[in-house]
Amino acid sequence: MSVETAVYEKLSCGSTICGVCPRKCVIKEGERGFCGVRENQDGKLMSLVYGKAVSSNIDPIEKKPLFHFAPGSRALSVATVGCNLRCDFCQNFRISQDWTEISGRDLSPDDLVEKANKRGCSGIAYTYTEPTIFLEYARDTMKRASPELYNIFVSNGYMTKEALDEVSDFLDGINVDLKGGEEFYRKHCGVPDMEPIYTILGELSDRDIHTEVTNLIIPGVNDTDDEIRKRVRWIKENMGSDTPVHFSRFHPDFKMLDSKPTPVETLERAMDIGKEEGLNYVYCGNVPGHRSESTYCPNCNSLLVKRVGFRVEEFNLKRGMKCHECDEDINIRGEKFIPEKLFKD
């Protein structure tokens, strides 16, 4: 099912300018944009993936990763084919880049909401590929889901303010993958300018949308102390010290099979840098059993949320999201979606 896209401009020559991401693809009649899923049909820009879920699974919210939104809850995770980046380390490359035709199971927005409710989910996550490229599908699902279900994006952040405007009223939380510096984005992601990603991160903060940041650390590529410090310093100064940051371990995949997995020591050093720069919540990702899977109070260091893998084993927060020992306010959102059994009071 094709539907007209929400953010584009018509040109007198019959071409269209897509407005959902900073590429601003100029698309001639009968052609598609960079992402491969938005096509000019008779002068109208149409989404080819509306209602075409190439993947729909039930995941713990911690898998996104989102550690500070509705801990212990489950989300229906949905994606379509396509992406507006070309990351050569992508772990979902078969559905993001390495596909030849539009595929997926027919699931309408109403179908997704019904499925989430039937499976006991607290929300819906738009993830696996880049939700910006299936914006209209996500937006319409979000409208139907809210406020009974939460809505979460897992995104590369390469979107326009106009695209964010389409969903921000229904977007409860987002994890943005801040991958590296300018050269990294040009060489490994096919992005000529990363400034729009910083712009969107600032917009998310200004709109008070719960935001967590993931940084995949690749050995010899984006793992120097100076690079990491520059990224976390920007986060602290522009998004605040309570922004959760996940330093994620790289595993060889797609076009980077010859690279080595990230040493755990490198991730721990990144965490140290984050703390030195004043971040209150820093985590190691893809390191099962690491102490940093859990959340601790930044004031008294009490254990607040004990995680083992993606499972919450202890929850030591008072209602109102305060530390059980010192009453420190903790930046955890989505209290109404936290399973009741986790609360002790």
Q: Looking at residue 186, what is its pLDDT?
A: 96
Question: How far, in Å, CA of 194 to CA of 268, rounded?
Answer: 26
The Cβ-side half-sphere exposure at 269, using a 13 Å CA radius, reads 14
Tokens of 57: 């699974």
Q: Looking at residue 267, what is its pLDDT?
A: 97
**Secondary element (H or E) of residue 57:** strand 55-60
Q: Looking at residue 314, what is its pLDDT?
A: 95
The Cβ-side half-sphere exposure at 21, using a 13 Å CA radius, reads 25
Task: Count how many domains the chain has.
Answer: 3
Q: Looking at residue 287, what is its pLDDT?
A: 93
**Secondary element (H or E) of residue 315:** strand 311-315
Q: Locate tokens 């986060």: which residue?
A: 235
Same domain as 306, residue 227: no
> Please, which contacts does 8-17 make with residues 24 or more away whose CB atoms are closer than 8 Å?
8/45, 10/43, 10/44, 14/40, 14/43, 15/40, 16/40, 16/43, 16/44, 16/45
Q: Locate tokens 């690079």: which residue?
A: 227
The domain spanning residue 143 has which CATH number? 3.20.20.70
Is residue 341 predicted with pLDDT exceeding 90?
A: no
- Farthest-apart Cα atoms in the chain, separation: 66
Same domain as 228, residue 93: yes
Question: How far, in Å, CA of 291 to CA of 160, rounded?
Answer: 37
Average pLDDT on 103-117 reads 97
Average pLDDT on 87-115 reads 95
Same domain as 23, residue 127: no
Q: Looking at residue 236, what is its pLDDT?
A: 97
Question: Residues 135-179: pLDDT tens digits?
Answer: 999 999 999 999 999 999 999 999 999 999 999 999 999 999 999
**C-alpha dihedral sign at 290, 294, 300, 302:** negative
Domain boundary among 11, 29, 47: 47
DSSP code of residue 113: H
Same domain as 129, residue 205: yes
Same domain as 314, residue 198: no
Is residue 344 predicted with pLDDT exceeding 90?
A: no
Q: Which region, left, alpha or beta, applies to residue 220 given φ > 0 means left and ψ of -120 to 50 means alpha?
A: left
Query: In Å, how far from its chain's centre is CA 59?
Result: 14
Domain boundary among 248, 274, 292: 292
Q: Looking at residue 1, what is its pLDDT?
A: 73
Percent of the chain with pLDDT over 90: 96
Same domain as 195, residue 308: no
Is residue 239 predicted with pLDDT exceeding 70?
A: yes
State the residue range of the domain holding 7: 3-47
Is residue 44 predicted with pLDDT exceeding 70?
A: yes
Q: Looking at residue 158, what is its pLDDT?
A: 98
Same domain as 133, residue 10: no
- For residue 192, give every residue at least 6 positions away whose Cβ sits within 8 Å of its Cβ, in sequence order, or none: 185, 186
Same domain as 93, residue 242: yes
Q: Do strands 16-18 and 8-10 pair parallel, antiparallel, or not at all (unpaired)?
A: antiparallel
Same domain as 169, residue 301: no
Is residue 58 predicted with pLDDT exceeding 80?
A: yes
Same domain as 158, residue 35: no
Same domain as 83, residue 216: yes
Same domain as 302, residue 190: no
Question: Residues 280-330: pLDDT tens digits?
Answer: 999 999 998 899 999 999 999 999 999 998 999 999 999 999 999 999 999
Is residue 345 predicted with pLDDT exceeding 70?
A: no
Domain boundary among 275, 292, 309: 292
Average pLDDT on 242-263 reads 94
| Mean pLDDT of the chain, nearest integer | 96
Q: DSSP letter string over 268-308?
A: HHHHHHHHHTT-S-EEEES-TT-GGGSEE-TTT--EEEEEE
Q: At what angle do helices 264-276 and 225-239 cross, to 10 degrees?
A: 40
